[in-house]
Every structure is written in structure tokens, then in C-alpha cells.
Amino acid sequence: MLSSSVGKSSLMETTRRPDIVFVSGQGSWLTDSNGKKYLDFSQGWAVNCLGHSPEIVARAVADQARRLINPGPAFFNEPVINLADLLVSKSCFGKVFFANSGAEANEGAIKLARKWGSKHKSGAYEIVTFVNAFHGRTLATMSASGKAEWEKLFEPKVAGFPKAKLNDISSVEAEITDKTVAVMLEPIQGEAGVIPAEKEFLQDLRELASDKGILLIFDEIQTGIGRTGHLFAYEEWGIEPDIATLGKGLGGGFPISALCAREEYCCFEHGDQGGTYNGNPLAASASLAVLKRVTERGFLQDVRAKGEYLFQALEKIADRIGSVRGRGLLAAIVLKNPLAGDIVADCLKSGLIINAPKSNVIRLSPSLEVTRSEIDLMAEVLLGASKNINSSAMYMD
């Protein structure tokens, strides 16, 4: 059925993909059209927080699909009401708006902050964001991002996103003017190579935002829903943002994202925000199934314990090739040499999926249900690949 050269399909070419077609997945494992199995430590870039095709999500979606797929966003439906209640009860936020992708949730956060600025801060609209930040691929979220490679793309950008440096509070202070309405950041910069914000920096940022009367926005699209061993990463630092966005793990692979805000900042008026698929019961039922599992007693404790086990395994490998950073089950090895792409390709050949957000950074974001023996197996393959690549790199020199 499939042509032998899948790379020449009718799909628009937007990235380089290997000649592999995946046909099924279960937990930490994917199977391609030749029957080859792969251990997946990327999980769609931290999306499948319960692994591939978890039974509870599959059942929730199938049941909901038979009952009601989409009454339209102008009406209430039961799953979306329950999901909003659940997120509010587990967080510091008062209300939630649902969307379909991370970028769309971040667009919502930007719009909400600008709306609040127009109503309560004399039209202030600038949002301080960060060098190397990643907030998505719409025009506004690309403008809010700080990827050097994007600087010249799709000009002109959306204005109003001055850039500060992560973990440098004076660089934030320097960008704040009477036009500033918010500061927006990832508590751990994901695409930049898993770079955590420091506790003291985040506490200073919280204080600064409160003093200046501006909003603190956390993009928790990659860090949220248990990824770092807490339901939300902000819990770890003992501070609370005013607005946060969720995506990726929220639907366990099903497309859904959320814009969460403290009640006093929920200032959208009718018609300001919406979307055809936003808050549909099918996506909400997938997310309810995910959250039911992730909030089970002991689940996040187990994620933290497995995170420690993962970091121990990585430290042993990294001794030879670089250093390890991250939190919970979001981990990176920072290599001494820019060989991440080669290591990722060698692992893929051996049936291990990991990814390289930077030429010198390998990122791992396995299922939160990953087992210790799967971590052992990953470490074995990764060690082999790092030996292969390092020795051939030395040979080439």
C-alpha cells in the first residue's frame, strides 16, 4: 500500500523525516510498517505523557465519540465543564479557556494580557520574553520566541516582545517600561535544550512583577501535567504565576491546550476569543482520562523517583560525553561536541527514539509510565551510540 519512497509523498516538506512509517504504538514502544519495534524516549516531544495509545484515553475518546463529538463552541458540554473544574481545583488559577495547540494557548495568553493592559494599565501591551525561548509557530508566538534562527523569518514580526536573558533579573528590569504589561517565560526552556530557570530568579521575577503591577505568565506547555514530577512545574519553586498555558501532556497525545488565569485577570469580553474546535467534548474527555491517572495518589511521587533513576543512568553515560540537566522525566545531556544529531540517528538505527533540540543537546521525555527496565535498556543503547559516534568522530579528526 505504501510507496517504497515515503519521503516523496504528497505531504508538504517542512522538516527532514526518516523513511519510517509508524503503524502502531503501546506504552513506551512504537512499531513501524516493517514490524520493527522502537523504544520511544521522546513520545512526540513530551506529548504522550501516558505513553502510546493508553487504554484509558482510547476508551474515553471512543465512548465520547459515540455520545457527542462536538455540539459547537457556543454551547456548554459536560466533559469541558468537568475538565475546567478539575484544573481549577488542582491549581492556583480561577478560570480556563481551552484551545487546540500550544501556540494557540499562548496566543490566548498574549491576547488576555494585552486586553488587561488596555483596560487596566493605560494601554500597556509589551510582554518581556526571553532569548532562546520557544512559544510556538504562529506569527505572534514566533515573535515572542527568542530563537536566533527565526530572527529573519516571516518579517515583519508582531511587535511588542522585548527580550531579556533567563536567570538574569537585571536584564528583565532593563526591559520594563510603562508600556510593559507582562513577563512571559518557560520555567524550563525546552527547545533551547532543557535549561531550568533558577529558583531565586523566579522568586525575584514574581516579586518584580507584583511590585510593577505586571502579569507573570508561565508557558508550561512542556513542563506541565507531571513532566517534572509535579502537576505544574511552578509548584516546585513556591511561587504562583498569574497566567499559565498548558498543552502537550494535557491530552496525552490528543490535541488540546489550555489558557489558565487567576480570576481577576479573566477580562475577555464576548467575541474577543474563541474558535471552532475550542473546548470540544472529545478532546476534553481525553484530557479528563489523562488527569485522572496523573493525579492518582502516588503517581507523581513515582515520576520523581523514576526521574532520579533516569538521571543516575544518564550521569554514568554523560561522564564520558557531557553533562546532564533537567527535572523529573524531562532530561537532557549537554554534549562536549555538536554530535547530538549523529547520536540520535545511531540510536534510531538501533531502535531507540530520542531527539536533539540543539546540535549539542540530546533530550529525553519518556512516558511518565516508563519502567526502570525500559530506562536501563535506553541507557544501554545510548551508551553504545555515544561510543560509536565518539570513536568515529575521533577517527575523522
Ligand X SMILES: *Cc1c(COP(=O)(O)O)cnc(C)c1O
Q: Is 8 a catalytic residue?
A: no
**In terms of CB distance, is 134 or 254 closer to ligand X?**
134
- Write down the least CB distance from residue 129 to ligand X, Å: 11
Q: Which of 102, 252, 326, 328 touches ligand X by CB under 6 A?
A: 102
Stretch of 17-25, 99-107, 172-180, 197-205 lying at the interface with ligand X (CB under 6 A): 99-107
**In terms of CB distance, is 138 or 203 closer to ligand X?**
138
Sequence-separated contacts (24+) of 167-173 with Cβ below 8 Å: 167/197, 167/198, 167/201, 168/201, 169/201, 169/204, 169/205, 169/208, 172/128, 172/205, 172/208, 173/208
User: Which cell goes with 390?
Assistant: 565518539
**In terms of CB distance, is 54 or 247 closer to ligand X?**
247
Helix/strand/coil (H/E/C) assignment for every residue in the chain: CCCCCHHHCCCCCCCCCCCCCEEEEEECEEEECCCCEEEECCHHHHCCCCCECCHHHHHHHHHHHHHCCCCCCCCCCHHHHHHHHHHHHCCCCCEEEEECCHHHHHHHHHHHHHHHHHHHCCCCCEEEEECCCCCCCCHHHHHHCCCHHHCCCCCCCCCCCCEECCCCHHHHHCCCCCCEEEEEECCEECCCCCEECCHHHHHHHHHHHHHHCCEEEEECCCCCCCCCCCCCHHHHHCCCCCEEEECHHHHCCCCCEEEEECHHHCCCCCCCCCCCCCCCHHHHHHHHHHHHHHCCCCHHHHHHHHHHHHHHHHHHHHHHHEEEEEECCEEEEEECCCCHHHHHHHHHHCCEECEEEECCEEEECCCCCCCHHHHHHHHHHHHHHHHHHHHHHHHHC
Based on the shown chain and the rule CB under 6 A, indicate whether residue 221 belongs to the binding site for ligand X.
Answer: yes
> By CB under 6 A, what part of segment 293-312 binds ligand X?
none
- Write down the least CB distance from residue 349 to ligand X, Å: 26
> By CB under 6 A, what part of segment 223-262 binds ligand X?
247-248
Q: Is 248 a catalytic residue?
A: yes
**In terms of CB distance, is 114 or 363 closer to ligand X?**
363
Location of C-alpha cell 540543539: 358
> By CB under 6 A, what part of segment 122-141 binds ligand X?
134-136
Based on the shown chain and the rule CB under 6 A, indicate whether residue 101 belongs to the binding site for ligand X.
Answer: yes
Based on the shown chain and the rule CB under 6 A, indicate whether residue 121 belongs to the binding site for ligand X.
Answer: no
d(CA 174, CA 163): 10
Q: Is 134 a catalytic residue?
A: yes
Contacts with ligand X, 146-185, as mask; x by CB under 6 A: ----------------------------------------
Contact call for residues 165 and 130 (beta carbons, < 8 A): yes
**In terms of CB distance, is 98 or 313 closer to ligand X?**
98
Give the active site residue among 134, 218, 232, 311: 134
- Write down the least CB distance from residue 194 to ligand X, Å: 11
Based on the shown chain and the rule CB under 6 A, indicate whether residue 107 belongs to the binding site for ligand X.
Answer: no
**In terms of CB distance, is 365 or 386 closer to ligand X?**
365
Stretch of 9-17, 101-109, 231-239, 324-332 lying at the interface with ligand X (CB under 6 A): 101-109
- Write down the least CB distance from residue 269 to ligand X, Å: 25
**Which residue has the closest beta carbon to ligand X?**
102
Q: Which of 190, 253, 281, 326 touches ligand X by CB under 6 A?
A: 190
Based on the shown chain and the rule CB under 6 A, indicate whether residue 324 belongs to the binding site for ligand X.
Answer: no
d(CA 245, CA 218): 7
Based on the shown chain and the rule CB under 6 A, indicate whether residue 103 belongs to the binding site for ligand X.
Answer: yes
**In terms of CB distance, is 221 or 352 closer to ligand X?**
221
**In terms of CB distance, is 121 or 363 closer to ligand X?**
363
Give the active site residue among 40, 219, 242, 342: 219
Q: Which of 107, 219, 242, 369 touches ligand X by CB under 6 A?
A: 219
Based on the shown chain and the rule CB under 6 A, indicate whether residue 97 belongs to the binding site for ligand X.
Answer: no
Interacting residues with ligand X (CB under 6 A): 101-103, 106, 134-136, 186, 190, 219, 221-222, 247-248
Active site residues: 134, 219, 248
